[in-house]
Chain A
Amino acid sequence: MKLRIKYEKTGVLRFIGHLDVMRLFQKAIRRAKLDVAYSKGFSPHQIISFAAPMPLGMTSEGEYFDGEFNTVTSTEDMMDRLNRTLPDGIKVHDIVLLNDNAKPSMAIVSASDYYIYKNEECETDIPEVLKNYIEPMMNKTSVEIIKKTKSKEVMSDIKPLIYEIKPYKEGIYMLLASGSKDNLKPELVIEALCNEADIEYNRYDYMIHRIETYMGESKALKPLSCDGKQF
């Protein structure tokens, strides 16, 4: 049986990397005594896979992974057992039994939305400043930025990958393309806004929080958990 598990990663655990979160869950699943399926061979491992890698430093309440289980109890029971053994900062919010035709989460991620807000340690509230530059930037025909890949730097127009961007609460809300096909990091959008505002870009001047991870076409996005049902 395939389950999709939605969780949050907040607080100081924003400093642990993607692979570490994976290992954390493998251990938590064992401590919670969930009946997860194992691969065959000399070093068997749990059959679980994560939807989207999450960079160090970012928090999120919309992370997902899929897991294959031999037996399951109920959404409530499994959530409860996991949450009792998970450390502060990681919490399971939902578990759904995937539909038979559901594809692996990794393959279907198409967008994510983020909330960008002030880093309390900084004197100036950079997101507050940048708010005023959203409109001028989005009114342009293209938003060019240098994208760094492993081997080279290329100029690229990120405007088509910004599905939505607006002032929100104390900071900025943005809905961006995400996943294996098109992917836009929120950091790049902030960098573009800094260019627009002609201020120096610095990753530590603001915080990023992922709100949700989506699947489907950009016009009809659905959270990844819509691929199954609670049980």
Chain B
Amino acid sequence: MGKLALSERILMNIEKPARYIGNEVNIVKKDIKDIDIRFAVCFPDVYEIGMSYLGIQILYDFFNRRSDTYCERVYSPWPDLDKIMREENIKLFSLETQTPISEFDWLGITIQYEMCYTNILQVIELSGIPLYAKDRKKGDTFVIGGGPCSVNPEPLADFFDMFYIGEGEVSYNEILDLYKVYKASDMTREDFLRKASCIPGVYVPSLYDVSYNEDGTVHAINPIYDDVPKTIKWQAVTDFDNVPYPMKPVVPYIRATQDRVTLEIMRGCIRGCRFCQAGMIYRPTRQKNVEMLKEYARIMLDNTGYEEISLSSLSSSDYEELDELLTFLIELRDNDHINVSLPSLRIDAFSLDVMSKVQDIKKSSLTFAAEAGTQRLRDVINKGITEENIIKGSHDAFLGGWDKVKLYFMMGLPTETDEDLLGIAELAEKISEEYFDTVPKEKRNGRVMINASSSYFVPKPFTPFQWAPMITPEEYIRRAYFVKDAFARQRNKKSLKFQYHDAEITVLEGVLARGDRRLGKVLYDVYKKGAIYDAWTEFFNMNRYKEAFDENDVDINFYVTRERADDEIFPWEHLDVGVSRRFLLNEWHNAKAGVVTPNCRQKCSGCGAAVYKGGVCFEAKN
């Protein structure tokens, strides 16, 4: 056990010092003498959140399979330590060897949500790496970003040397091989970046020039050299069964948000909900073989000692061998005392039966992601769940003994009217009525509870709604009150509850999601005003953002409430995620016309993702 980067005095003065000591079970140890490349992977949020995220474990395992590379982890220091590090000039360090990140060759940051952008600046700055990529020299750490937000990384373009667009397992080896040549030769940093830009999936923002129209929209995005590709193509794993998987995930000492084995059963989603970015960018849907998953589950449980397992996918009910997998999980539960936590499954007789075996019905609730209050609006968003499905599912569940239902909605969806909003309250009411019709008085113990909650819809790049306006926060609040009032008028109002998400943070998410490079300066200024941990309401301060927008003459409504013309060039136009612009635009028109698009298994809609030559696009169709 080596020395820790932080002193006894500091560790005893901060919350949860175990966040910073490393030494967890299953960490990889290597001798630095045998290593050419030191890579730090970072999830820019607090340890307990970052440790719960499967993607980091996948990359950690992937990089450490290379004998010339040692990959270590780093997370955002909590504000208490952040303050001390700034005051005492302590550099951010890796957990494994407690080495300053500035001594690493690479800092790889996964970008999962917009509200962690200020934490990214925090991590880069505390590491002692120049904040702006243009100020880094040969010998400085390369900062590379990946993850879902990297499909529009433009607001962060100034701070990253490059982005990796796609699933990490595909092209990273090529990047590292080229890096070794760079490190051992007199190749300049610029030359390296230029060569790297030709590797599929690598986006070097400094090699592209963005020009704007007078109205503020993008005029053109062009590479500044001829040998730099015009578009950057998202990389997707096609041989999904043989992609490496972390069989020995690192097990934290302190309780992480997800304190269990996670089994990724499927990537992508066949459904094509029009608001869902993951459902578009992770196309095509690819499944893992069930026999292999069973083996993985056993090995991972043995290697970690976890007492719980959960499944990861965007829509587990669409996994074709789900019955067999769940039967296996129930056996694990009965024979090995493994708790099974089920992802949200489509509610039907089968899933209810499984759930009744693995959870306490009295304590658990059923979840329906209805997303919208009327069938009309559900057609607009292509959410293939009907009121009938929900009522029937609830009916079966009430018969099975459940008496708590959760409903998820979004407000501010394109074309939404007050009627759709009323529909939210009415749907909740109908479910409660179904309860009273289904369960006789003598069998009711306690009261049925229908908990509806609504978020504020944010249009995301590479979805059919990338053209759509977002409603203003004032309008969102009006709609929220409108729905609240509607709930208060329902007959069974005592059994119904309605909650809605914070408006301000969501507006910013909207600005950053579809933002462009001009927001880089705003982010820098906001960060310099002290913003970190903006995803946490207790640290978030809207005034810092308001000031920074004002100081930089940025009108947030340009990004948020403006409907884009069909032919507008987006700030992410030079990226290509497989799904074509033509398909997305068609879907946007279908949405406005309320026309439903079948899912990939019913009928291929030719979205463009078939270029990856794998997954559902090539499953035998009948």
Contacts and interface: CB of A to CB of B under 8 A. Distances in A.
B24 interface: yes
A19 B17 CA distance: 14
A12 B20 CA distance: 10
A216 interface: no
Given A27-B251, A88-B23, A121 B305 contact: no
- Name the residue in A12, A24, A57 with the highest tally of chain B Cβ atoms < 10 Å from its Cβ: A12
Contacts of B24: 87
Nearest to B339: A43
A57 B21 CA distance: 12
Contacts of B339: 43-44
B604 interface: no
Interface stretch (A28-36, A106-114, A143-151, A188-196): A28-36
A89 interface: yes
B255 interface: yes
B536 interface: no
Contacts of A15: 11, 17-18, 21
Given A23-B255, A87-B23, A30 B4 contact: no
A89 B22 CA distance: 12
A83 interface: no
A78 interface: no
A16 B307 contact: no
Contacts of B255: 19-20, 23
A57 B12 contact: yes
B270 to A, nearest CB: 32
A16 B253 contact: yes
Given A17-B18, A87-B24, A88-B1, A30 B360 contact: no
A138 interface: no
B409 to A, nearest CB: 30
Interface string A43-60: 111000000000011000
A203 B12 contact: yes
A87 B22 CA distance: 11
Nearest to B16: A17
Contact of A121 (B9, B21, B253): B9
Contacts of A26: 305, 307
A76 to B, nearest CB: 21
B303 A16 contact: no
Nearest to A31: B305
B481 interface: no
A89 B21 CA distance: 12
B360 A42 contact: yes
Nearest to A87: B25
A231 interface: no
B306 A27 contact: yes
Interface string B357-400: 01110010000000000000000000000000000000000000
Interface string B14-36: 00011001111100000000000
A88 B29 CA distance: 13
B17 A56 contact: yes
Interface string A155-171: 00000000000000000
Nearest to A11: B1
Contacts of B83: none
B304 interface: yes
Contacts of A207: 8
Contacts of B18: 15-17, 20
Nearest to A27: B305
B210 interface: no
Contacts of A19: 255
Nearest to B17: A15
A13 interface: yes
B12 A24 contact: no
A42 B1 contact: no
A9 to B, nearest CB: 11
Contacts of A28: 305
Given A16-B21, A87-B24, A121-B8, 16 more contacts: A15-B11, A15-B17, A15-B21, A16-B253, A23-B255, A31-B305, A42-B359, A42-B363, A43-B339, A44-B337, A57-B12, A85-B25, A87-B23, A89-B23, A121-B7, A121-B9
Interface of A: 11-13, 15-17, 19-20, 23-24, 26-31, 38, 41-45, 56-57, 85, 87-89, 119, 121, 203-204, 207
9 contacts: A31-B304, A42-B358, A45-B307, A57-B12, A87-B24, A88-B23, A121-B9, A204-B9, A204-B12
